[in-house]
Amino acid sequence: MCTAAASTFVVSASTMLSNQTRMDQFCSQLTGDALTACRSIPERCVSLQAPPFRQVVGEPELFVMIKKVVREADLGTHRFFVLGPGRGTTATHETAQASSDRRKVLHYVLVYGNGKPLPENAASIAANGVVKAVHSYCDSLRFTRGSGPASTQSTSTAVLWPTLEQGLRTIMVKQNVSGLFDSPWVNLFSELYLAMCARDVRVVFSTREAAAWAKSRRENHGGFVCPFAEDPRLLDPFSWPQCAAFTRRYASSVGDHTNSSAGAAREAAPKRLPGARAAYDIKDLTTDTLGKAMEKYNAYVLKLVPDDLLLEVDFFSSKLNEQKPGSRVSPRDEWTRLEMSLIQAFTRDG
């Protein structure tokens, strides 16, 4: 017969073994700096369904840089960071605004504090610098053909790293911004999430029906899309680092088996979107293709982040809310208030 203490020990040992097995799987097939970077991630940050690190983090050097900046950031009285993986046009403004209770958060280039937009400051200026560099990078890829051996820029995001490092250091270290939402930060969701989670993070995931999002996004905005968005091996169709790593691993070896590794040569050729660009803009895609990319991205976020660190909200589900008798408040406004209250509770320290 097992005593209570012995039973507890058996359960604890089993849990430790399970966690170790999970992290061994997450960090599998890695060596050197990539393995070191992977092992630095706490096991609580990786869900049971998470894909392996080598697919999640395309460029470990970039992850290490981001993690260093995040480690230097001063959280002040806060216990955790807040991160929004919701893509633009999913009510990211409202999500950021609701998350800014007694903290500063950045939405695109706008800083929110205590639910209100703040005047232009060093953080917003730094964010503008990052946005300009990103636009230049993405535009150059749109005019680069990706059908043959891949260009240097399409196989690495290194051209962005100095601007990203300087911008993030100003935003997070010098200006004490502890939350990031919308573009261009959402295109680095995997790296930012894993880096922030090493200290603690809350993920507020704003979503909406994919076809409606795609229609609205195409009509009103642009944004980066990887040319291999439809290939099942690419997890995040909107991630620059994942796209660059995918291009290095698969596209650069097409038609050049003398320079490709035996492993890459045995794998199927990558599935491309129509055309030969090294990157696409959202407006280049059909609504159907873009909607499928959104569904794929949403599924990826839900697989990567453990349930206890994530809050999923849908501001566009107001149709589920009925008009209250005698109320002059519309169901949508009431739903927005309820969703924002939920976010405030989830991101509140204490």
Tens of pLDDT, residues 221-248: 889 999 999 999 999 999 999 999 999 9
The confidence score (pLDDT) of residue 331 equals: 82
Where do the structural domains in the chain lie, given as residue ranges? 31-314
The confidence score (pLDDT) of residue 261 equals: 47
Residues of the chain with pLDDT > 70: what percent?
Answer: 85
The confidence score (pLDDT) of residue 252 equals: 62
**Could you give the CA distance from residue 240 to residue 156 in angstroms, rounded to a whole number?**
8
The count of C-alpha atoms lying within 13 angstroms of the C-alpha of 143, restricted to the half-sphere facing its C-beta, is 5
Please tell us whether the domain made up of 31-314 is placed in CATH 2.20.220: no
pLDDT at 103 over 80: yes
pLDDT at 202 over 80: yes
Residue 3 banded pLDDT, cuts 50, 70, 90: low
* Of the candidate ranges 66-80, 164-178, 261-275, 290-304, the one whose mean pLDDT is the lowest: 261-275
DSSP H or E segment with residue 17: helix 4-26
Per the CB < 8 A criterion, the answer to whether 192 and 202 are in contact is no
CB neighbour burial string for 186-218, b if at least 16 within 10 angstroms, e if fewer = bbbbbbbbbbbbbbebbbbbbbbebeebbebbb
The confidence score (pLDDT) of residue 21 equals: 79
pLDDT at 189 over 60: yes
Dump pLDDT digits (tens) for 266-322. 678 899 999 888 999 999 999 999 999 999 999 999 999 999 999 999 999 866 666
The confidence score (pLDDT) of residue 7 equals: 45
pLDDT at 87 over 90: yes
pLDDT at 11 over 90: no
The confidence score (pLDDT) of residue 65 equals: 97
The confidence score (pLDDT) of residue 330 equals: 83
In sequence order, the 6+-apart residues with CB closer than 8 A to the CB of 82 are: 99, 103, 105, 178, 179, 180, 201, 202, 203, 204, 347
Q: Which residue has the higher pLDDT, 117 or 11?
A: 117
The confidence score (pLDDT) of residue 259 equals: 45
